[in-house]
Structure 1
Amino acid sequence: MSHDPPPPHLTYPWQAPPPPTGPAHRPPVHAPLGHHSDLRVLRGAYRRQRRVATLTALGYFVLFLVLSAFAPSLMTDPVATGLPAGLLLALLQLPVTWLAIVLYEHTARRHVDPLADRIRKQSALDAKRATRHEGTAR
């Protein structure tokens, strides 16, 4: 039982052979998916947007829980006639959550959406150029 040695261009027997070369075997031209720096900026803007909204809503809720656990006398002190501070802070949770949603939408409209639109338009232009290039290459 003899084993044939691998061809000289392969390092290991399980590696695939190199792709064919020559004019008949040109690699396909693909449209670029966008500029990496733009995508990095978009991810960063989206990340900041999520953090601001999440920290606004959760931060207020955690503050409410910490005050309830460690400052019960403050939470039971009346702010107005018959309205304890704890109840007022609990009632303010809903407007604070709405504020977080408004901040999220505002930052999306102002920072994230224009950048995403620019990347989308650029990738559409790149795709058109690549299709035109493929049409002339054939």
Structure 2
Amino acid sequence: MQVPNAGVLTVKIGPNRHAIKVPDSGVVVAAAEVDKAIVCVVFDRSLATDPLLMAITKESGAEMWRCRARGAGHRGDRAPMIPHHLELVQDGERVYLYGVSETNVYIECYSVSEGAVVGRYRTRMMPSENVGQ
């Protein structure tokens, strides 16, 4: 992966390049390698869009799927949430997106082969609670 340049993040595997439109600043990127694919997530700290998940085959670099995660930037939330941490973890045919924001902790599970949502879990913290303390 290359650092965003003029609003584009480039993911290169072998001869294939995948350009992902991103904001000029405040981008968080996480990746997990699975048996036959690399899954990455791009998150805009400005919360202009929901996190983007994308799976790319390791062998050819072809895009398998892409989807928007609900995560911390979900537009249905009442208050904007600034992410403190975002991570992908692979477990067999599933990849888990873990996130911590100022007001919640969330986990989303996706099928690596299809990008389908397997499950979601989210907690809400009270305003007086502090993450990491």
What range is the shorter-chain TM-score in?
A: under 0.3
Bigger RCO of structures 1 and 2 (CA < 8 A, at least 6 apart)? 1
Structure 2 length as normaliser, TM-score?
0.17
Structure 1 length as normaliser, TM-score?
0.17
**Which has a greater percent of strand?**
2
